[in-house]
Amino acid sequence: MKKSNKKPISILYTLIIFFLIIIIINNNNIFKKTYNIIKNENYSKRLENVYGYCEGTSVGYLRFIKEKFKLNFNPKIINFNQTSPSDWSIYDLKLNKDNSKIILLNYKREFNFIFNKKKKNIWTFNNQIQKTKSIEKIEFTTIYNDETYIEGTLSLYVVNSMKQKELIYKRKINQIINSQPININFKTEKFNSYFGTFLIEFDNLKNDNLTNIKNIILSSKNYFNIDNYKIINQEKNCYYVSSRN
C-alpha cells in the first residue's frame, strides 16, 4: 500500500483549511441550525415548519391525527392543494389500507379560478387545475362599477405547451355581466390539466365593453362532497372523515 509521506504541516495551509470550513459552516447557517435543534425545535416541530400544519402538504395535521386517533390502518389522504403527495408522513407498510376513513387536506367546497387579462379579448389562468368535475358559474370583476353590457360569444379553452387550443365550453352572452354571476352548471372532466394553461376568449362582439372587465372568475364545485361523510375531526380546512356506511 502507498505510504503517505509525512511532511511538516504548513501553518498557512492550515489557516486556509480552517477558513474554508468556517465558510462552509457560515454559508449553511450551521450555528443557527444547531441552536434551533438544541433549544427550540424538536423533530416534529421542524417537520411542521417545513410542510405546514394545515397548509401545503399539511404533514403536521396528518401526524396529529395519526397520534390522536392511534390509527392502526392507512387512511386515504386527499390534498386539495397542488402539492407533492403527503401520504408518506404517516404511512405504515405493515398496516392495511382503509378507504372508508379519509383525511381531507385544504378542503374547499368550491374552487375559484381567477383569470387575468392577457389581451383585449383574452383572459388566462396559468396554474394547474385538478379535482374538478364541473364549471358552476362565471363571475366578472370590472374596473368601474357602472353596468357593463356584453353581447358576444365566450369560449373556454385548455392550451397545451404547443399552443394548441382545445375547446372546453362555449356560450353566447347577451347581458349585463357585473350585476351577478352567470350560473352555467356545466359538467366536464376537461377542466383539469397538469401542464396546460386555460384561456377565455370573447368573439363576435357587438360592442366594445371588454375594456371594463378586469378579471373573470370561474367557480367549480369540489368533486368530493363532504356532506356525504361523518366528520370525526376538523381543524381549519383539514378534516378527518369516515363514510356513513
Binding site for another protein (CB under 8 A): 1-2, 4-5, 7, 9-10, 13-14, 16-17, 20-21, 23-25, 27-28, 30, 33-34, 36-39, 41-43, 46-47, 50, 57, 84-86, 88, 91-94, 161-162, 195
Contact 174, 122 (CB under 8 A): no
Task: Identify the residue whose cell numbers are 397545451.
Answer: 160
Across 26-176, the runs of DSSP E, i.e. the strands, are 74-79, 97-105, 110-119, 122-125, 134-142, 149-159, 165-176
Distance of closest approach, residue 27 Cβ to another protein, in angstroms: 7
Distance of closest approach, residue 40 Cβ to another protein, in angstroms: 8
Q: Rounded to whole angstroms, how far apart are CA atoms 220 and 110? A: 6
Q: Rounded to whole angstroms, how far apart are CA atoms 154 and 205? A: 10
Distance of closest approach, residue 195 Cβ to another protein, in angstroms: 5
Distance of closest approach, residue 9 Cβ to another protein, in angstroms: 6
Distance of closest approach, residue 181 Cβ to another protein, in angstroms: 33
Q: Rounded to whole angstroms, how far apart are CA atoms 102 and 180? A: 36
User: Closer CB to another protein, residue 9 or residue 228?
Assistant: 9
User: Closer CB to another protein, residue 70 or residue 94?
Assistant: 94
User: Closer CB to another protein, residue 93 or residue 227?
Assistant: 93
Contact 236, 81 (CB under 8 A): no
User: Closer CB to another protein, residue 9 or residue 204?
Assistant: 9
The residue type at 210: L
